[in-house]
Structure 1
Amino acid sequence: MTFQAFEPIQLGKNLKLKNRIVMPAMARWKCKSDCVPHEGYLKYYKRRAKHNVGLIISEGTHVDNTHSYAIHTGYEGRLTNEKQKKAFEGIVKAVHKYGGKFIPQLWHCGENATNPISVVSSSQRIKQMDRNDMDQVRDAFVNSAVLAKEAGCDGVEIHGANGYLLSNFMSKRNVRNDEYGGTIVNRMRFPLEVVRAVRQAVGEQFPILYRTSQWSVSNYNEIKWDNVEELKIWCDGLKEAGVDIIDVSTHKCYKLEFVGQGKQEESHTLAGWIKKLSGLPVIAVGGVSYTQTVAYNWGSSGKTSIENPERCLKLIEKGECDLLAVGRALIANYDWVDKVQRGDWEKLKPYSRKTLDELF
């Protein structure tokens, strides 16, 4: 297949990709108790770089080694100390060997952690964040970002989507009665403080990606922005804070958002609106190659039906996005790029929860 998705792209001064295909962050839960990405992870990422994935974003990588508020299961990678940094150095070198780029996704689980902490607590079991907690979380993101830069990573992605900590600040459920809750400007205040602190620590030239979404893991139908005007406030904030690329997580990347808003001739996906409103490069992700959404696979052991990825690939030609992230299909098919570029998409393997049993 001939699409721009398989052509190189230069993003800023320091991020040149051999194509526009991205492997997004997907938790694999295969680390041991030290949370060091082991040799199996290195081979897992290297295999996809060897088969022409342009940019690999690590599984969600925890930033907190102090209070464990960030930790989901304890079997994901962390980037909080020298031993963990050393493991990331090896992964980066392996990916670079095949012309790929590697970026860790920095992750704080908040109320979804094993030791939960929440923006607004609805349970005595869950601690509501105070100012000291917020400072600790901000500093944890900064520490991990600095370690990522020292490890030779090609940037960092801050996970602000899908119902995890920074995403929950953005949620309408955030009814804090201080300057961090209520209005959209207040709700976005702390996520942007994290971005600014990371930007100051890593310098102006180190790429910062930010993952954002409407939906969350606890509410697949959640809406954070009701209209284009609200979304523009968020886009302006991300750009001002120092984000270079926005990673837009949706159920279906080709689905139109805010239909009927704006000028009559304008119809965009969520990624397309964010690209237009921010002027920044965007990654679109959601439903590439498979008919069922993540919600289907999360609650089912059934297989996901394969479909032609052409309409997703064409989003780049249409100006809706700059990069396209392929999630579950790249877990099941390390050679997704090779197969699809040859026009052999029908030979792709289906995905099911069982696919997560091992790294390969």
Structure 2
Amino acid sequence: MTQLSDPIQFAHGVAWRNRLALAPLTNKQSNPDGSLSDMEIDWLLARARHGFGMVMTAAAYVAQAGKAWDGQLGVSDDAQLPGLERLASGLRLAGAASLVQLQHGGSKGSTAISGEPLVAPYEDTETGARALTVDEIHGLVDDFASAAARAERAGFDGVQLHGAHGYLLCQFLDGRNVRDDGYGGSLEGKARVIRDTIDAVRAATSPQFHVGLRLSTERFGLTTDEMVQLSADLMREGQLDHLDLSLWDVTKLPEGAHASAAPLVTHFVDLPRGDTRLGIAGKVVDGPSARAALATGADFVDIGRAAIADQFIAERILADGDYAGPTFPVTRQSLRDNTVGEPFVEYFATGWPQLVAD
């Protein structure tokens, strides 16, 4: 049986030293120009030094128009390279594989923050986003490819394309995307931009550069049946090194399913994978839940909020599979003691007040 401590090999790029990955976590610690701050670098390096096999950045915008919140990391401009280089070098020295998550906010962006109008695959009257033209879609693909090349120049081992949580790539998969120009309608049309982006990133980077994709499996206008089919197709096609499923809870049932139904994850873990590795995320908070997640048949597991509260969680789980994890709610001071910068403390405390005591 595969163990959390086992290394994991990929078709492209470096092996990860174990099966524990730091989830890409919004932390609002970047500078206003999208460059990495010292506190954001410190937060990520602490998790690398304490055992994670792979450490990923928060969602990093690939174009100014895709910026979605204050304090968001950017990988859209060469001026952001110095901080990215520092982080990549530090992660390598700490022994962790390093990925940048590439994202465009689409209709979930912020005109007030980016200074640019909102765009989406389709006109969205709720947000005021206008529909992208085909030429603009091609430009979007180029933005992702340029950002990936920039990440490689900075020294990162790879990138993960953010196709989840209702951001732009995910919006293309939404049932409201009924474009009739090849970028909507059928599942093949809705997923075309993702395949185009994967191909463009591969062409813009070296043969050993790691390329992954994060997908949501339901909600956000998606259907689980289509996401199962897309996952199967992408893994069979073999262009991805990993597919990372954001499940919200790795034990949950599909939305609206009968209580006797099989867990959502079972729809994905039995799919043929070829050389693509499968990761899962959702309420992995301690040793038992990490071991149970891996035992579903996944290749690696992501840890999110528990890694915010406990910078030592990876090494503690690897040393003790029964490690209970941090106890919530935590205090603001305990977050600071775990190398969480003040903007991240404030974001975590106000966004999830049930998890922070003061």
Aligned to 1:316: 294
Structure 2 unaligned segments of length 5 or more: list them: 112-117, 346-358
SS of the aligned residue for 1:69 comes to helix
Does the CA-based 8 Å contact 2:306-2:325 persist in structure 1?
A: no
Question: What residue in structure 2 maps to residue 53 of structure 1?
Answer: 52
Q: Secondary structure of 1:97's match?
A: helix
For these two proteins, the number of residue pairs brought into alignment is: 326
Q: Provide Cα deviations, 1:23-44, integer angstroms capped at 9, x if missing partner.
A: 0111111222211001111111
Match of 2:106 among 104, 107, 110: 110
Contact 2:52 2:96 in 1 (8 A): yes
For the 8 Å contact 2:288–2:323, the answer to whether it is kept is no
Over the aligned positions, Cα root-mean-square deviation in angstroms equals 2.8
Which stretches of structure 1, 4 residues or longer, exceed 4 Å deviation after superposition?
256-260, 266-269, 351-360
State the identity as a percent: 22
Distance in 2 (CA, whole Å) between partners of 1:317 and 1:21 is: 13
2:268 partner letter: W
Which consecutive unaligned segments of at least 5 residues does structure 1 have? Answer: 261-265, 290-307
Q: How big is each residue's C-alpha offset from its partner over 1:227-284, in whole Å with a ceiling of 9 and x where there is no partner? A: 6xx6234431465372111011111113355999xxxxx9664376256243321111
Deviations 1:66-101 (A, max 9, x none): xx3211014211112223122111111111112111
User: What letter matches 2:324 in structure 1?
Assistant: E
Structure-1 separation of matches of 2:34 and 2:270:
35
SS in 2 for 1:32: coil
Q: In 2, distance between residues paired with 1:10 and 1:177?
A: 40
Residues 3 and 198 of structure 1: CA distance in aligned 2, closer, same or farther (over 3 Å): closer
Query: Contact 1:58/1:104 (CA < 8 Å) preserved in 2?
Result: yes
Q: 138-147 vs 28-37, which deviates more?
A: 28-37
Matched, 1:134 2:133: no
Q: Which residue of 2 aligns with 1:212?
A: 215
Question: Could you tell me how far 1:213 is from its partner in structure 2?
Answer: 0.9
**1:307-334 deviations in whole A, cap 9, x for unaligned?**
x54144233234x211110011111111
Mapping 1:6-155, distance limit 5 Å: 6-64=5-63, 68-115=64-111, 116-123=118-125, 125-155=128-158
1:350 aligns with 2:338: no
1:128 positional shift: 1.0
CA contact (8 A) 1:37 1:87 kept: yes
- Within 5 Å, give how 1:114-263 maps onto structure 2: 114-115=110-111, 116-123=118-125, 125-215=128-218, 219=220, 222-226=221-225, 231-237=228-234, 239-240=236-237, 242-255=239-252
1:5, distance to aligned residue in structure 2 (A): 0.9
Once the two structures are TM-superposed, the CA of residue 204 in structure 1 deviates from its matched residue by 3.1
Pair 1:98–1:32, CA change in 2 (3 A): closer
Q: Normalising by structure 1, what TM-score?
A: 0.82
Q: Residue type of the partner of 1:33?
A: P
Q: Quick one: which amino acid aligns to residue 323 of structure 1?
A: F
Is the Cα contact below 8 Å between 2:12 and 2:241 reproduced in 1?
Answer: no
Say if 1:31 and 1:275 are closer, same or farther in 2 by CA, change over 3 A.
Answer: farther
Partner SS, residue 29 of structure 1: coil
